[in-house]
Amino acid sequence: MRKSFKKTILASASAAILAVSFAANAADKVNAAFFLEWATPNQIAKVDKTYDKAMGVPVNWTDFKTGVAMTEAMLSGDIDISYSQGLAPFVTAIQQGAPLKMIGIAVVYEANNCFVKNGLGINSSNASELEGKTVAVPLNTMADYAFRRYMAALKVDVSTLKIVDQAPADGAQSLADGLVQMACIFGGASAKAAGEVGTPIMTKQQKIDNGIGSFDVISVTEKFATENPELVRTFLEVTEESNMAWKATDAQIAKVAKDAGMKIETTKAQMADFMFPSSKDQLEQYFSKGGIAASAAASLGLVFSGDSDGSKIAKTLDGSFLK
């Protein structure tokens, strides 16, 4: 009895010591995160191992389902660079004090659509009729952000809506079943399904007029950026080169489609809406003082948390690696 008790104490003590772990920091490989079904030109460089050659270290690519998962992996030290992390998970991570920084813009795309069920006769001109209706929104995502921007632009009081938190695929299904009157959707397949039974509340032009857009960012851990600035710089350089080399030829699209795990047609349709800003444009428009990146991050921060400080988020934007 006494002996086993001592053993227990010993075992728990050693477990406590093991819990205090140390992380090694030699950059003998770089771990990057990306999304499947999100076609970008740099996947050609990824497949051709241009990154590995240019950076001189092997680059491990891991696919993720959500931007939040990317943040979690970066915090636990498993991922160094996240390519195409959504702005929403980046901003929420910063609000929680995560040591990350935004070093580039990966993709600029049209804001996610909110589809109004066909047959209700509701469009942007009489959007106030939405009040009292049920809306499917994947909360705390870029689609949520777009939804709130639309409603603000159309002067609809969000508190009068019944908001249901649904993943895009479920939201599209509920829209088709008539359970919700509007569904805000991200992702190609779900948006296509929702488009069958609904119409976007705002047209492409209206979105541009109201300044509602989305972009994905390239983020790194502060530790990695401090210790390996030259690797970060080369990573962005290779990304820039593959964006410049993008001519949307059949061979290129086939390569990207295969890596993204999509059909050629879907890839084409998806990439038609994508824009990949050059380093120069990113520096001038996004990372300049009060640029798009800072203002979008600040307003996004306010959507998700009432007491968000936009100037603090702006401190985590770092365009210096693009130069």
Partner 1 sequence: MVEWFSDNRANLAAVIVLFLVAMLIWSFYVGRKQAALTAKDEVFGDPQRTRGGWYWSVCGVATLLLVWFYFSWGMGRAYFPNAANEMCQVAKLEEVVSPIKAALPIGSRYYKSTLLVARNSTQLDAVQGELPVDAFTADEQAELNELIGKVRSLMVNASDPKNLSREATGKLDQLVFKLNALSTELRAGSANLSPTAKALAQPKWGTTHIEISILPITARGVLFDNVATKAKEVATLFVKIRNHPPANVSVITDVKARISAFKAVNEIGKFDERKTRTRAAYIKSVERIFRRLDDGTIFPANSLDGVNSAIAGLDAARDHARGNLGTIQSILFPGQGVVKSRTQCTEQGSARWLPKPTDVVATFLRLSNPDIDGGGGYKGIPLLWWKWLPVADTVGFLVPDWIADIWPGEYAKHGSDATITPNFKDKLLNFARGKVYLGVIPVLDGHLWDSVFRVLVALGLGIFLGVPLGLFMGVSRFFKSFFDPLIELYRPVPPLAWAPLILTIFGITDDGKIFLLFMVAFAIMVISARTGSSGTQLSKIRASHSLGASDRQIMWNVILPNALPEILTGIRIAIGVCWGTLVAAEILAGTTGVGFIENIARTVSDYELIWVTILIMGLLGLMFDLIMRWVIEKTIPWRGKG
| Contact residues for partner 1, defined by CB under 8 A | 16, 19-20, 23, 25-27, 53-54, 56-57, 68, 71-72, 75, 89, 92-101, 134, 136, 139-141, 159, 162-167, 170, 173-174, 177, 179-180, 222-223, 226-228, 230, 234, 237, 304-305, 307, 312-313, 315-316
From residue 203, alpha-carbon distances to 184, 210, 211 in Å are 14, 11, 12
Residue closer to partner 1, measured from CB, 140 or 210? 140
Please give the DSSP secondary-structure letter assigned to residue 131: T
Which is closer to partner 1, CB of 23 or CB of 272? 23
In the complex, minimum distance from the CB of residue 275 to partner 1, in angstroms, rounded to a whole number: 25
- Residue 48 or 273 with smaller CB distance to partner 1: 48
Smallest separation (angstroms) from partner 1 to the CB of 272:
26
Kindly give the interhelix angle for 292-304 and 142-153, rounded to the nearest 10 degrees. Answer: 90
CB 185 within 8 A of CB 172: yes
Output the smallest distance, CB 315 to partner 1, in A. 5
**Identity of the residue, 96 or 203, whose beta carbon is nearer to partner 1 in the bound complex:** 96
Residue ranges of the alpha helices (H) in the chain? 2-19, 42-47, 50-55, 67-75, 87-95, 142-153, 168-177, 188-197, 204-209, 222-227, 229-244, 250-260, 264-272, 279-281, 292-304, 310-314
Q: How far is the CB of 38 from partner 1 (least distance, A)?
A: 18
Rg (CA), the chain: 22
CB of 11 to partner 1, least distance (A): 14
| Comparison of 141 and 279: residue with beta carbon closer to partner 1 | 141
Torsion of Cα atoms, 310 then 311 then 317 then 319, to 10°: 130
Its sign, for the CA torsion 78, 165, 131, 186, is: positive
| DSSP state string for 266-303 | HHHHHHHTEE---HHHIIIIISSTT-HHHHHHHHHHHH
- Please, what is the minimum distance in Å from the beta carbon of residue 40 to partner 1? 20
Residue whose CB is less far from partner 1, 43 or 92: 92
- 231 and 25 in contact (C-beta within 8 Å)? no
Identity of the amino acid at 307: D
Min separation Cβ 171 and partner 1, Å: 9
Tell me whether residue 173 or residue 267 sits nearer to partner 1 (CB atom): 173
